Amino acid sequence: MAPMTLHPDSIAVHAGREDLASLGVHALPLDLSSTNPLPDLEVGGMSYEVLATGGHPFEGGSNVYARLWNPTVARFEEALARLEHAEEAVAFSSGMAAITAVLLGVSHESGKRHVVAVRPLYGGTDHLLASGLLGLETTFCAPDGVAAAVRDDTALVVLETPANPTLELVDLRAVVAAAGDVPVLVDNTFATPVLQQPLELGAALSLHSATKYLGGHGDVVGGVVACDARLAAALRRTRAITGAIMHPLAAYLLHRGLATLPVRVRAQQEGARVVAEWLTTRPEVSRVHFPGLPGCDPEGLVGTQQAGPGAMIAVELAGGYEAAAALTARVELFTHAVSLGSVDSLIQHPAALTHRPVVSDAKPSDALVRLSIGLEDPQDLIADLGQALTATARTNSAAMSNAG
């Protein structure tokens, strides 16, 4: 009998759980073993070699050691790969561990040491590439500069869409075409597999800071990369050597979180749409960055490349840095904190925090504040932002009067 063709919402609920009934359980199992029994020395040695070089466990073998393989992590990887339409996925202890493994693994496999990075990027990724810490040379460019930046020794093109923190959308098909034979890595954290599948658009790797929407509750840190089987083997080998495998408890929480991912993303997206439209009416706000607003998606990528605008908003305050800082201090329902994608709404100032290490000419505006919209009623979020903006405007007006 042919397998059922499932809607992504159904895949989110059932992927990675297909054998639970045969195990006699309904909830996901959690394997916390740090080490595993060896059948005998020969089989144990063979198991170690296979896993340490990026392979999968074999029948009759052993998982050997948790740095090499863990069944709970593997279940989450299988589920995420299904959602991303990928052959495999590889999970890491953090998003930064994931991008580091990609850079090390792909450059080692190709023997090339040059990377093209499309700005803007997440501040941590930008800093890692700019620092030269991994021994790689990076050329930063805009999306339309990729073809000119690619060289014979280019191992990878790195981009993020929607971009962090300005929510700019990058045409993936255009970048893939410009990259030619060079593999393209897409940071898909903001969009999630619910709204965008980069591999279907020609990218070689789709990366997530799983800490964000995949987990969705602000209680787990992780990273995951979806790709083909050949690249996955290279990433697992890098992961085994560097010890960057995801902890099984994190994988358990993330796998559990996938079941509600489509529902959460769509609800948060609709809330963000309401909040973004309201923000455009406020005199304290000079600009709203949200792909669902007129003018924020000039290439028409929402609806063609990306199924919806997402739930992130960036606003530039007319009062500059002082107004931005005051807004983050005066909100009450929003939590002033880094990160994003949680069920509760967060607010942060990227230039001072997540993008602080980025070079000045690539850093976001000091007037820009980033909002991650959660599952609260959007009218409550609007009321909170309204009181904070009004209080800030009054303070600024009083200060100007006193100065006069």
Respond yes or no: is residue 212 known to be catalytic.
yes
φ/ψ (deg, to 5) at 337: -165, 155
HSE toward the beta carbon, residue 92, CA cutoff 13 A: 27
SS3 363: coil
Q: How far apart are CA 238 and CA 61, in angstroms?
A: 21
Give the C-alpha distances (Å, rounded to integers) separating 134 from 100, 103, 130: 8, 8, 10
Task: From the candidates 126, 171, 187, 384, give the one annotated as an active-site residue.
Answer: 187
Nearest-Å Rg of the Cα atoms of the chain is 22
The number of beta carbons lying within 10 Å of the beta carbon of residue 316 is 19
Task: From the candidates 9, 48, 67, 321, give the one annotated as an active-site residue.
Answer: 67
Task: From the candidates 75, 212, 282, 363, give the one annotated as an active-site residue.
Answer: 212
Respond yes or no: is residue 363 known to be catalytic.
no
Give the C-alpha distances (Å, rounded to integers) separating 180 from 38, 155, 176, 177, 296: 46, 12, 6, 5, 28
61, 49 contact by CB (below 8 A)? no
Task: From the candidates 122, 273, 282, 370, give the one annotated as an active-site residue.
Answer: 122
Q: How far apart are CA 286 and CA 279, in angstroms?
A: 9
Question: Taking the C-alpha atoms of 94, 109, 171 and 78 in order, what is their torsion angle to the nearest 10 degrees?
Answer: -50
φ/ψ (deg, to 5) at 311: -120, 20
Respond yes or no: is residue 112 known to be catalytic.
no
SS3 196: coil
Give the C-alpha distances (Å, rounded to integers) separating 8 from 69, 144, 208, 258, 311: 27, 32, 18, 11, 19
Put the strands of the sheet holding 346-348 in their side by side order: 285-289, 312-317, 368-372, 346-348, 335-336
Respond yes or no: is residue 19 known to be catalytic.
no
Q: Of 379, 317, 391, which Cα lies nearest the Cα of 345?
A: 379
CA angle 365, 367, 375 (to 5 degrees): 105
Catalytic residue list? 67, 122, 187, 212
